[in-house]
Amino acid sequence: MNKWIKRLLIVFEIGGGFTGFVIILSALFSSQMQLIYILVSILFALFFLFGVFSGLCLIEDQKTGIKLSIVYQGIQIVKLSSPIVTYFFVSGFHLTPEIAFNRISIFFKLGAEFSFFILSKNPWSIGVNIVALGLFIYLLRIKKLIIK
């Protein structure tokens, strides 16, 4: 694995995962939330902790770290918005082109972010996190090389 890509992954996964976890933790303790929001927040806090764990595994055990990082990057690829369900999860950095009915947009952010809504009034749109997709494909190729 390229050492610079590995370092970048470690920073994105550990740094982004820790940032996301702290953001959720501070929100949980600073405001009164309904039970469903608490449960969703805990689920995404676990996603962010999984990112920290994936990054640490990448440092300690390359094979396990690659497998976990594939999963972690995979859950960051799609940005989906609709009145039925909205899902977006990013840890580290994202560059996400998004297509909606009346517009095409590009979003980027360094840090951590998540959105999850069911039966909301969000408009229809779909986006792809190019950074996560690129890392996902790269990790799949590296995994094949390591297995051989």
- Report the C-alpha gap between 109 and 142 in whole angstroms: 26
Residue 101 has pLDDT above 90, yes or no: no
User: Cα separation of 74 and 72, whole Å?
Assistant: 5
User: Domain segments of the chain: what residues?
Assistant: 3-147
pLDDT at 9 over 90: yes
Please give the pLDDT value at position 1: 86
Per-residue pLDDT of 108-142, as tens digits, reads 999 999 999 999 999 999 999 999 999 999 999 99
Q: How confident is the model at residue 32 (pLDDT cuts 50, 70, 90)?
A: confident
Please tell me the predicted confidence (pLDDT) of residue 61.
Answer: 79
CA gyration radius, the chain:
16
* pLDDT recorded at residue 53: 97
| Sign of the four-CA dihedral 136, 20, 9, 65 | negative
CB atoms within 10 A of CB 9: 25
Q: What are the b/e assignments for 118-141, b being 16+ CB within 10 Å?
A: eeeeeeebebbbebbbebbebbee
pTM over 0.85: yes
CB atoms within 10 A of CB 12: 27
Tens digit of each residue's pLDDT (9 = 90 or more) over 42-90: 999 999 999 999 999 999 978 999 999 999 999 999 999 999 999 999 9
10 Å CB burial of residue 56 (0-12, 13-18, 19+) is middle
Q: What is the mean pLDDT of residues 98-113?
A: 93
Q: How far, in Å, CA of 146 to CA of 138, rounded?
A: 12
Does 148 have pLDDT greater than 70? no
Report CA 34 to chain centroid distance, whole Å.
24
Tokens describing residue 133? 């997709």
